[in-house]
Structure 1
Amino acid sequence: MTINCRGKLIDLSTPKVMGILNVTPDSFFDGGRYKDESSILNQVETMLNQGATFIDVGAYSSRPNAPFVSEDEELQRILPIIKLLASNFPDINISVDTFRSTIAKATVEAGSALINDISAGHLDNNMLQTIANLHVPYIMMHMRGTPQTMQTLTQYDNLIKDINFYFSERIATARDLGIIDLVLDPGFGFAKTLEQNFELLNNFELLNITELPLLAGISRKSMIYKTLDTTANNALNGTTALHMVALQKGAKILRVHDVKEAQECITLYNQLHV
């Protein structure tokens, strides 16, 4: 189970960590924290030293009811960051969190290695063809609507079956276009209630029918801090607890704010399966 990142084969048979770098002013946890080159480089260096295999850079917050960001503004936010990271960390695997094909193309040309799309191509009809042309791995997430409308679209006949059906159609379309490396993200918190998020995690292994690597993005999300009656700032322990569940149920990538703790979780998980 490998993906090709700029000529490097990344083996996902052993789980990996994807560290989050938000360069938005309004992300639910770390919005506005990384504003200048020094803070960005220090944070990325820390995450890499702590064991992150991927750094996921986003310039458009996808939290519920996030404000709209124009294409030009997203590009102005993210492109200098990609160039900065690519020049300072030549071996870095940069993932770009975007649903726009123009952003995907510009950032891959600037040095990113894979694209992480919350809409799996549904918010930009050119995205899948663009990914096929770029020959990069593609993370496709399950979501309904947009970040502005998704919380009103939580009615399912059968949550797990509906998500698997969604992915089967998206995978077929991607394969027809020649996209080789695919990663699936079931989209915790996206068009799902708190109860549905736990149903999804509890049945996470049922998404393995595709035999494609699964990404779990639960770090500090509301399913954790609302259940614990706390805040995102105090949700690290809860995050780690659910990360172990996700690993036991087949997650191959943990997308996280706290790389050190996630990597420790993976180390312990690996020791359980030697």
Structure 2
Amino acid sequence: MLSRLTKTKLLLRPAVMGVLNVTPDSFSDGGRFESITSALKRIEEMAAQGAEIIDIGGESTRPGSEPVHAEEEIRRVQPVFEQAVKAFPELLFSADTMKAEVAKAALDAGAHIINDVSGLQRDPKKAKLAAEYGAALVIMHAQGIPKTMQRNPQYDDVLAEVQQFLAVQAELAHKAGVKHIIIDPGIGFGKRLEHNLRLFGGLHRLAEAAYPVLVGASRKSMIGELLQQRPVEGRLAGTIALHYHALMAGTGIIRVHDVQEASDSIRIFTAVRDYSTR
């Protein structure tokens, strides 16, 4: 099943990763899917709309968010994984966590992917876990921790520094035995607007690496900044525009809240791309 995550197949048809936050405080949908019933209903909706991967998180990583103890994070996510993996065998499930103990609980419940927004900085044991379970590992770049990452992020050359970080961390994961590695530039994680725009402008360079690229810009603050402080609920068009640019640059996975619209955009993208190469 994880062969779906190989770079060649993702380039043929990029995949949609649907976001499911089982948290009370996530920036976009906090509190909406805390119950198992509501979470499973949302997964069913996203699957029908075209999601192939569901990314389940029990700790908000929005700027300024407070950390959550591992025990509480496990309490939030493990029952959802246990039921969802059985109910939707056609889907891939991803554990959005920085903690090895939470990742292990999710893998024990059947998760297929560890999505580490700390890029193995916080807990390198996640690479060994992914290798042991045959899981895929998403390595994301972030400067700082969610609580403080947006206070004053600084780079000399953000694209070069993110490329270097992802290359080093991916090599660590490879040496640990991880067979399916995905890289993510970490849009909005310890980055100002100009940093995010520079990363989007250089995504084609990241896509030249040996690993599939994941991009998550869904409803993020950079869209609000570019659109005269547009609130979260008004950022759909901006999200689609950024992700379409990412697809054109060679991105293999887009992480989204609005699954139907993302799936539609991929259908249009692949149709135009495939026709243009005939």
Q: What TM bracket, shorter-length normalisation?
A: over 0.9
User: Residue 237 of structure 1 corresponds to which residue in structure 2?
Assistant: 237
Q: Could you list the runs of 5+ residues in structure 1 that have no partner in the other structure?
A: none
Aligned to 1:207: 206
The letter of the residue matching 1:12 is: L
User: Could you give the per-residue CA deviations for residues 167-188 of structure 1, whole angstroms, max 9, x where no partner exists?
Assistant: 1111111111111110011000
- State the secondary structure of the residue aligned to 1:161: helix
Cα distance between partner residues in 1 of 2:122 and 2:148: 13
Query: Match for 1:12 among 1, 10, 26?
Result: 10
Shift of 1:125: 3.3
Structure 1 residue 91: Cα displacement: 2.5
For 2:41, the equivalent position in structure 1 comes to 42
Query: Per-residue displacement from partner, 1:118-170 (whole Å, max 9, x unpaired)?
Result: 01111113222222222210000001221112223521121111011101111
* TM-align CA RMSD: 1.3
Separation in 1, partners of 2:111, 2:81:
7
CA–CA distance in 2 between the matches of 1:223 and 1:84? 35
2:170 maps to 171
Identity over aligned residues, as a percent? 38
1:116 aligns with 2:108: no
Tell me how far apart the structure 2 counterparts of residues 41 and 173 of structure 1 sit (CA, whole Å): 35
Kindly indicate whether the alpha-carbon contact (under 8 Å) linking 1:51 and 1:259 is maintained by their aligned counterparts in 2. yes
* 1:219-230 matched pairs, under 5 angstroms: 219-228=218-227, 229-230=229-230
Amino acid of the residue matched to residue 267 of structure 1? Answer: R
Structure 2 CA distance for aligned equivalents of residues 107 and 40 of structure 1: 15
- For the residues of structure 1 that align with 2:46 and 2:55, how far apart are their CA atoms? 11
Contact 2:40 2:80 in 1 (8 A): no
Q: Residue 146 of structure 1 corresponds to which residue in structure 2? A: 145
1:39-63 per-residue CA deviation (whole Å, 9 max, x = no partner) reads: 2122111100111010000000000
Moved more, 83-92 or 173-182: 83-92
SS of match in other structure, 2:254: strand
The TM-score, its normalising length taken from structure 1, stands at: 0.94
1:89 corresponds to: 88
Partner of 2:249: 249
Q: 1:270 aligned to 2:270?
A: yes
The corresponding residue for 1:54 is 53
**Alpha carbons 1:145, 1:153 under 8 Å: kept:** no
Q: Give the match for residue 63 of structure 2.
A: 64
Q: Residues 207 and 251 of structure 2 are in contact (CA less than 8 Å); yes or no, is this contact kept in structure 1? A: no
* Secondary structure at 1:197 match in 2: helix
Contact 2:119 / 2:139 at 8 angstroms: preserved in 1? Answer: yes
Residues 34, 76 of structure 2: 8 Å contact kept: no
Report deviation, 1:209.
Answer: 3.3
Q: Distance in 2 between matches of 1:35 and 1:125?
A: 29
Partners of 2:125 and 2:163 lie apart in 1 by 23
Which letter maps to 1:152? R
Provide the aligned length of Structure 1 versus Structure 2. 269
TM-score by length of 2: 0.93
Contact 1:144 1:191 in 2 (8 A): yes
Aligned-partner Cα distance in 2 for 1:125–1:273: 38
Match of 2:188 in 1: 189
Letter of the structure 1 residue corresponding to residue 137 of structure 2: Y
Q: Which residue in 2 is equivalent to 1:134?
A: 133
Q: Distance in 2 between matches of 1:37 and 1:133?
A: 28
Structure 2 segments unaligned to the other structure (5+ residues): none
CA deviations over 1:88-145 (Å, ceiling 9, x no partner): 2222211110111111111111111111000111111322222222221000000122
- Divergent runs of 4+, >6 A: none
- Asked if the contact 1:144/1:153 (under 8 Å) is kept, the reply is no
C-alpha separation in 2, matches of 1:82 and 1:50: 20
